[in-house]
Structure formats: C-alpha cells, structure tokens
Amino acid sequence: MTPEEIKTKDKDIHAFLEVFDSPKPYGDGPLSGKTIAIKDNILFEGHKVSAASRILGHFTAPYDATVVKKLKDAGAIIVGRTNMDEFAMGSSTENSAFGVTKNPHDLDRVAGGSSGGSAAAVAAGMVDMALGSDTGGSIRQPAAFCGVVGLKPTYGRVSRHGLIAMASSFDQIGPIAKTVREVESLYNVIKGEDPMDSTTISDATYPARNNFLKVIGVPKSFIENEGVKKEVKENFKVAIEKFKSLGYKIKEVEVESLRHALPVYYIVMPAEVSSNLARFDGVKYGLHIDGENGIDDYFKTRGEGFGREVRRRVILGTYVLSSGYYDEYYGKALEARALITSDLRKLFQDVDLMLTPTTPGPAWKIGEKSKDPLEMYLEDIFTVHANISGCPAISLPSGSAGALPLGIELTADLGREDNLFAAGKEFMGE
C-alpha cells in the first residue's frame, strides 16, 4: 500500500498516529520490501515519538532505537508510527491522548491494547508486519482481538534501547504479523545482545535442554475461571482437540501460584511506572506549563500532560513504594513474583508448552469498560504471567465469537521461542 492508500483506509480505524510521506528501504536483507509499522513508543531518529501522550506530543526522537537500526539493516520499509494506550498503560487503546483505534473486524469495538494500532494495522492489511511492546499482554491481547499473531519474547532477547519505558522489568518489544513464519522472521532480525541494554541476552544464555517432545500442559482450574466467557471456553476445547490431532500430548497441570499473577503484576508494574515516569517533569523535554514556581510548574505539567489512567498508575505506584507500605505490598509482591517464576520453570521440566486462552472474552465495545479500571485490569488474567516470569509467549488466531476473532496463547520456558514457533506453525497449518 502507498502512504496515500494507507491514510485513506485508516480514516475509519485510526491505527496510525502518523504515516510517513516517503518511506524508503534502508538496506538489503531478510526483510527487503516488507512494510512495517512501529508503535509510538519506539524511537525513530528525526520522527515524532509521543507514547500517545500530550506530555510528549511534539517530541522528536534524537536517535534510533536498536530495533529500528536492525529493521533498517534488514531492508524493511518503516511506513509510520501506530496508536497505543498512553505510555502503554491500557488494554484497549482507548487511553491514547489522540483518539481510539477501532477493531478492523467491527468498528464499534476496541482493537485491544496497548499495541492496538500495530495489531489493527496488520489485521487491516495496511502493513505486512508491525512492532509492539508487551508489558502485561500488550502485544498478545490486541493480536487476539484483531485475529493476527503476536509474540512476547523472552525478557532480554530483544533490546529495549530506544523504547520509552513503562515498567522496565516487564517491557519487551515484539513482532505482530498474520503468520507465525512472518513473526519468526521479524523476531530473528530484532533479537540479540546489545551493549546499549545491559539486560539483553545471547542465544547461549538458555541453551536447549532436550528435544521438542510435543507435550502441552493445560492449567484447567485456572482456565475455568468464572470471568471467562463461554465462547472462549468452547473455542479452547476445540484448540485442544486440534493439537491432539497434530500428535501433541495434552497434560492437565496445576500451577497454583498463577492465581496470584494478576495482583502481583498490578503492584509491581505501577511501582516501576511511578519511578520511570518521574523523568517527565516539564524541565528536561516535552510539555512545559508555567506555574507560580518550580513546584507548581511540575504539578501543572504532569497534571495536564498525563491522562487519567497514567495518573492513576503513578499514584498507585507511589503508594505501594511509600514508607510503611513498601514491605507490606511491594516486598511481598516481589516474593510472589519469584514463586510464580519458579513454579513455571518447574512446569517446563515436564511439558514443552503451556496452553491457555489469550483473553477471557472477545473485543468489547468502545467505552464499555472505560469507567471500571478493575474490570479492565481483569482482562490481563491470561497474559501477565509471561511478563512476571520473563517467559516467551505467543498468541495465535483460533476461531471466533460471531465475527470477532479469538486467540489461544502458548507459553514456553525461557529462551524457547523455537518451541512456540514449531507448535504455532503446525497449529496454523503453515
């Protein structure tokens, strides 16, 4: 699609915040000729990057993120920056300061979030591939809602240099595309160690322990949660039968600590948000609003520059880190995080993959959950464990509820993206 064609098609969807007028390939490589969109929290030198926030509304990236450099070297054509929940905080892309992204399958419904623009752009055929970021499901959930494939890599497999941070111990950049093969090819381009990000790891960090035995664990009691829609449970049963037909052994497992994953995430994540967003003070860069003095400048800039959901998470994070509450909330959450990680590592000694739905229901109508943050947070029930533990996970299109796509999620042990790709390609018939 030409930039003009993308702009015309995007008028109804609003997947893009900006379509570049003269996108060009920068090199010749494995992505030559492929059009790619990047989420609006990934720096692309000389272009605006706002994290869909007013506080960075006119900020221009001074350098390329490592993933952008790798895209250029691979010959990709970067066509624009996609809409998202402000600072990646949300599950619907309704929290963008610049308008809602709509689901290409039903324009009355959300595209998911926070990488909703990237998923919608791929689903609508406006680009071949896209990059998103995943902090608690922000690639996988919109991929499921839009009927495409989304991967959250192992923590550290993809550099975060040039990614505007939300929660640094959870954030990972990852690919979205229509097929597992395309996701795999994009992942292979962007992965690798980076001297600019000390958390990155090499292929040798998690060497393969055994062959792929095609054993899938299903945490049945976790999936039988009363908040999971009937059509999701029925679709999940169909997916299990399909894996069985492909020669996979399905093993019912119990991971008791998974029930703690959501509360752990919503304590640790806001704490990191509170710390990371302290840099947006109206002094260094971005929006500045004059007040009566320096402190008033700070309060007015952040009060008007940040949206409601960002302010909510900053306040919550500041609270759990405050004197008298740190040990009671944050300290205990870190202990529970370690337990969840340990339990998943033990699980993957017995199975190759864990299978769950990606989301408890299909895409909801725009505005339906906006007034109840807790209801919105519950949408992350099947995705946050991968970010808590660092494990890789992939969402695959699987059936539908009427015209609305549904997804299933496979989680693997640290560094075992190869298992995700093998099972994903078989499931998708690629």
Catalytic annotation present for 322:
no
Torsion region of 87: left, alpha or beta (phi above 0 gives left; psi -120 to 50 gives alpha): left
Name 249's bridge partners: 215
Catalytic one of 50, 92, 96, 114 = 114
Q: Cα separations (Å) of 28 from 43, 127, 149, 183?
A: 21, 18, 25, 19
Distance, in Å, from the CA atom of 422 to the CA atom of 221, rounded to the nearest integer, reads 26
Cα–Cα distances (Å) from 156 to 41, 47, 153, 263, in that order, read 18, 26, 8, 24
39 is known as an active-site residue: yes
| Residue where the block lists tokens 């299933």 | 408
Cβ contacts of residue 325 below 8 Å, gap of 6+?
A: 319
CA distance 144 to 359: 7
Residue of 39, 152, 191, 369 marked active site: 39
Look at the block and give the residue holding tokens 């664990």.
217
The yes-or-no answer on residue 185 being catalytic is: no
Q: Which of 50, 91, 115, 138 is catalytic?
A: 138
Strand order across the beta sheet in which 77-82 lies: 16-19, 77-82, 35-39, 129-134, 172-177, 149-152, 393-401, 404-412, 353-357, 215-218, 249-252
Residues annotated as catalytic (active site), given as ranges? 39, 114, 138
